[in-house]
Structure 1
Amino acid sequence: MVDNDTDSKEQLELTSEEKQKKVCFLCSFKCRKKLRGATSYLQEYCGNTSLHGLKYMGEERRPLIERICWIFAFGLSIYACSQVILKVYRKWENSPVIVSFADSSTPVWQIPFPAVTICSEVKYKRSAFNYTYINQMLVKKKELSRMKHEFRSLLCEEDEYIENASLTTDTSLIQFFQEAAPPCDDLFYCEWKGQYENCCGYLFRPILTEEGVCYTFNMLATSQIFSNNMTVEGFNESYDIYAPTDHSWSQWTAQDGYPNSESIETYPRRGPGAGATSGLHIYLRADPEDYDVRCRTIGGFKVLLHNPSEFPRMSQQFFRAPLSQDVVVSVKPNIMGTSKELQEYPSSRRRCLFQRERHLQFFTHYTQRNCELECFVNATLRSCQCMMFFMPRHEFPICGAGSLTCVKNVTEQLQYLEIVNAMKLERSKESKNEGCNCLPACTELNYDAETSMGEFDVEKIFEAFNVTESEYTGKKIGKLSIFFKEWQFITSRRGELYGQTDFLANCGGLLGLFMGFSFLSLVEIVYFFTLRLFNNLRGKRRKQK
């Protein structure tokens, strides 16, 4: 009985081992069958696909060496194609914008005549302020009024530190600038569109800049340049900038231009045409008795041509109009526009800002110079707790002579940050800008000036025309002529270098060149490994049933 039991146990063990072997055999058979099915399906795909080289890898009787060679060639094509596509993508990502010329020219009457801001180097009348006398009093250590100390430091380019100078001042300083400055009638006499006009009552209006009291032509009113909460204090109503009464304000902007319904005689004034006969001619005058070399070493006038919607920064960009010289300025407008396709791009890629993308706190019109001035105002207010006398402000204290060192440090710091940010931007497109971040406007209007000059001897002119008595006798006189160089000009335009369509076309061309790949090749891949595979598997199951 014992032997029979042991035999039966051994038979059971053998049968279990045989069962395991049978199961393993069946599993391996099924795996081999599935593998052969997958291989045959891949061979079917390789034989029918439009991709180059795959049919040679899928042929059944090809030698192994041939398959290896074709696999290597196919992999090399994929690698080369991906590297070239990567270069195209980087080019599309880093430089999607191209600057080109417009298809047609633009007549000058479609844009405003440039705003002309003129500042005399004679900052005061000797009867109101005597710089030489003040220096003599300082040498003798006599006390002077605070107003004269600040006038000397702010306008006469005096770097000497004033002991116990106040950090802030009030609007009485601006009123003193106005009272001490030579009147407009003593400085200018004008000719506009071939007709002599009253410079100070019709064409030019006073404006306060870092150069003190200056005069500007064809610039928008302060109410149109500054926002509602900003003012230019210290000037009475007669010194504010406003449009002449015989012209109407227009809704002109640098981005949209003049409205179609706008008349020719509007403000800001349109360009009258090209040539010296249709421009602006200004006779500049100065009384030698008011010229003080200790306050300003160079005489004459500073002139700036700028966009009518920009606030002038006379210390940064200007050219000189010396006395006893006939200065001729031929103006060439420069307009940079931007196509509508670039509106969807981020500003960091197109390198410009539309009006709706950047709203300034102090200005109603966005321009790069207005943005830089606002940045300077905010930085001065943060660091020095005051604002310079020429800055637009709203209930902010005015910097006195004691704050000039702080203001100078702010200017140097902003210049340093701009350089650092420019270097960071070249290295990384995603770097954060810590400075002003004032990109150019997407529609930008500038004026390029070509200057030439010759001698203007007013005494010989009076002698030639037998002028014996004149209000100009004893004064130094110069002439400034500003006009458009040509009737028409070519504008520039930012356009799309590589759009999404161009990028896809380049990628498709490269894939077709290296691999014979197309959109239908992608459809084939999806079809073979989804719909066709599902239908084949379902057909086999039906046959098995």
Structure 2
Amino acid sequence: MYYPNELAHFKITNFKHPDGLLIFKDQPTTTAPEILAKKQVEKRLAQRLLKFCQHTIHGVNHIWEPRTKPAVRIFWCLVVTTALIGCIILYNTVTQRHREGILVTVVESSHLPIHTIRFPAVAVCPLNHVNWMRYHAAETRFLPRYSAKEAKTAFYNLVILLERMTFTRLNHVEEFLKIKKVPRSVRNIELSEVAKFMSLRCDEIFSWCVFDKTQMDCCKIFVPEYTGRGECMVFNSVISKESRIKKVLIKEEDEWSDTLFHILQKNTHNSLMVTPRISETSRNTRHIDPAKRKCLFPDEKSSKYDQIEGLGFHKINCMVRCEQKYLIDACNCSLSMFFPELPGQSNMECKVSDLRCIHDHWDIFNYLKEPLQDEYINDTRRGMICDCLRGCESLLYLVELNVIPLPNANDSLPQITAEVYFARNTLTKYASRLQYTYFDMISNFGGIMALFLGASVLSIVEIGYGIVRELIIFSLYKLFGRRKRRRIRIVKSRNEASEEKIKTTKDYVVK
């Protein structure tokens, strides 16, 4: 029989390829042993993964096991997903609490021995700072030899002004400024120099001193020091050079001056009972910003908060330096009888001619505002705004004063006796620390993992170990497979070259 459809229809074409007909290259065929080895590796990996999930990740084995029904797999997928989401949410909550840096204050000890702290620095400041017995000597020192009566009168009024003058008590400045004409010889006098020369000396204040049941020379343990209340005689302080040399064992020893003071009347015996209280912030909070921590460590440096050079950070020191800056900004001068000296700026001392500027800004110097006060209180008064944090290590002295009159008192020779002592042999120590530390975060995270995933640190190690192991096995499999294919390709190319060479030789022989 003849089937014309089975014959190929002849078609004339003019197609001619320059290289002849296109021929596909021979592809390396995968042998049966290679396919079998690949399937064995895949099966082995699946078995390891299933075994790993059964022993390490709870619930995943129900999803991975081949014989599990689809409904069961969906159920366990939802369970595992919910557990993971809950774990992530609680972990974010714990880390957020740690980032907030919440501080809690607790009573670390209510019976800390009193000998663990320093004895406070005691400052004795005369209410009247001028010793009038040196007035004529002061005239000779600060006025020219042949001074006019106007100069002597102005200098006398200046000494009256300095008698009870403090930085926040400038009431008598206005009376001095009522003088119509102040001679130039008086206008150029530095206020602090006159105050220091006219101040009372140690032997003019004290008669006898007893420390720790031992009678001592008062002028060896009390040294002159300039505070916010003028020149005072201070015991157990490290502010002045003399006190730094002695450094005997009442404010803290490295504080400039304290706002807490008691006025002692004549012919009285005064018992000052001191109750110390320590407040410390844990050192593990140093990584927190001081504004958030709300305190500054004594050895911590900060450009935002003022400090006195050579002294540790205290809130009082910061306030003093802030007040000094306001005075310098307003009048371009400073008063070393109230504030610390400025290194390298000895020509910044306020003179009598600067009293007009000081008086014009008296309302600012006399009123201290809080940093955020204007946002909450409608107060139009001018004042000093000093942003000063408390110290992270502070020692506060609470003082109770008991006064009794002296028997057989002589009004012509008035006396004042004072006794300073600790109220108890123990004190209370408060400690501020982080509510959530790194250890708390780790322990909480471990509890979350155990609750939601049934995992632990060992589980994490096992997961990491399993991933690294499988990656190594997979890499080695790929590496050896690539080398094996390369060897097969080299052998095949060599065979093809040999066959080509043999074919060429045969053609040559035939010719």
Q: Map 1:208-357 to 2 at 5 A.
A: 208-220=226-238, 222-223=240-241, 241-242=242-243, 249=245, 267-270=246-249, 305-313=250-258, 316-323=259-266, 325-336=268-279, 351-355=295-299, 357=301
Q: Map 1:418-457 to 2 at 5 A.
A: 438=389, 440-442=391-393, 444=394, 446-456=395-405
CA distance in 2, matches of 1:339, 1:91: 18
Matched, 1:122 2:76: no
**Contact (CA 8 Å) 1:96, 1:349: kept in 2 or not?**
no
CA distance in 1, matches of 2:428, 2:327: 40
Structure 1 partner of 2:101: 95
**Contact (CA 8 Å) 2:313, 2:391: kept in 1 or not?**
yes
CA distance in 2, matches of 1:411, 1:82: 56
* CA 160–374 in structure 1, closer or farther in 2 if over 3 Å, else same: closer
State the aligned residue count. Answer: 404
Deviation at 1:92, TM superposition (A): 2.5
Residue identity in the other structure for 1:352: L
Deviation at 1:482, TM superposition (A): 0.9
2:449 aligned to 500, 508, 511, which one? Answer: 511
SS in 2 for 1:483: strand
SS in 1 for 2:11: helix
Structure 2 partner of 1:395: 346
CA distance in 2, matches of 1:69, 1:407: 79
Deviation at 1:511, TM superposition (A): 1.3
* CA 538–473 in structure 1, closer or farther in 2 if over 3 Å, else same: closer
Structure 1 partner of 2:223: 205
Structure 1 partner of 2:498: none
Structure 1 partner of 2:310: 364
**Contact (CA 8 Å) 2:332, 2:348: kept in 1 or not?**
yes
* CA 358–38 in structure 1, closer or farther in 2 if over 3 Å, else same: same
* CA 407–507 in structure 1, closer or farther in 2 if over 3 Å, else same: farther
Residue identity in the other structure for 1:366: G
Deviation at 1:481, TM superposition (A): 2.0
Deviation at 1:216, TM superposition (A): 1.6
Structure 2 partner of 1:158: 171
* CA 40–441 in structure 1, closer or farther in 2 if over 3 Å, else same: closer
* CA 151–37 in structure 1, closer or farther in 2 if over 3 Å, else same: farther
SS in 1 for 2:346: coil
Residue identity in the other structure for 2:229: E
CA distance in 2, matches of 1:120, 1:396: 28
2:90 aligned to 84, 87, 99, which one? Answer: 84
* CA 510–176 in structure 1, closer or farther in 2 if over 3 Å, else same: same
CA distance in 1, matches of 2:357, 2:48: 81
Q: Deviations over 1:318-342 (max 9, x none)?
A: 2343446543222233344566656
Matched, 1:53 2:83: no
Deviation at 1:117, TM superposition (A): 0.9
Matched, 1:474 2:415: no
Q: Structure 2 length normalisation: TM-score?
A: 0.62
Q: Deviations over 1:405-441 (max 9, x none)?
A: 447536757x4437699xxxxxxxxxxxx96565515
Residue identity in the other structure for 1:486: R
Structure 1 partner of 2:154: 145
CA distance in 1, matches of 2:227, 2:120: 18
CA distance in 2, matches of 1:110, 1:524: 51
**Contact (CA 8 Å) 2:56, 2:459: kept in 1 or not?**
yes
Stretch deviating more after TM superposition (36-45 or 372-381): 36-45
* CA 322–123 in structure 1, closer or farther in 2 if over 3 Å, else same: same
Residue identity in the other structure for 1:364: G
CA distance in 2, matches of 1:511, 1:165: 85
Q: Deviations over 1:67-114 (max 9, x none)?
A: 444333333322332232223223323337655556796544454421
Give 5+ residue unaligned stretches, structure 2: 1-6, 16-38, 136-149, 376-384, 486-511
Residue identity in the other structure for 1:449: L
Deviation at 1:366, TM superposition (A): 0.9
Residue identity in the other structure for 2:252: N
Give 5+ residue unaligned stretches, structure 1: 10-32, 130-141, 224-240, 244-248, 250-266, 271-304, 422-433, 463-469
Higher Cα Rg, which structure = 2
* CA 349–477 in structure 1, closer or farther in 2 if over 3 Å, else same: same
Structure 2 partner of 1:113: 119
Q: Structure 1 length normalisation: TM-score?
A: 0.59
Deviation at 1:449, TM superposition (A): 2.5
Deviation at 1:306, TM superposition (A): 0.9
**Contact (CA 8 Å) 1:190, 1:198: kept in 2 or not?**
yes
CA distance in 2, matches of 1:150, 1:100: 52
Deviation at 1:493, TM superposition (A): 4.8
Q: Taking every aligned residue pair, what percent have the same amino acid on both sides? A: 16
CA distance in 1, matches of 2:327, 2:51: 71
CA distance in 2, matches of 1:498, 1:171: 59
* CA 505–3 in structure 1, closer or farther in 2 if over 3 Å, else same: same
* CA 2–375 in structure 1, closer or farther in 2 if over 3 Å, else same: same
Matched, 1:381 2:366: no
Deviation at 1:205, TM superposition (A): 3.0
* CA 216–533 in structure 1, closer or farther in 2 if over 3 Å, else same: closer
SS in 1 for 2:335: coil
Please tell me the root mean square deviation across aligned C-alpha atoms, in Å: 4.8
**Contact (CA 8 Å) 2:225, 2:240: kept in 1 or not?**
no
**Contact (CA 8 Å) 1:376, 1:411: kept in 2 or not?**
no
**Contact (CA 8 Å) 2:279, 2:430: kept in 1 or not?**
yes
1:173 aligned to 184, 191, 199, which one? Answer: 191
Q: Deviations over 1:114-140 (max 9, x none)?
A: 1111223334467889xxxxxxxxxxx
CA distance in 2, matches of 1:526, 1:409: 66
**Contact (CA 8 Å) 1:170, 1:398: kept in 2 or not?**
no
* CA 63–183 in structure 1, closer or farther in 2 if over 3 Å, else same: same
CA distance in 2, matches of 1:169, 1:109: 52
Q: Deviations over 1:48-77 (max 9, x none)?
A: 252333223334454545444433333332
SS in 2 for 1:83: helix
SS in 2 for 1:473: coil
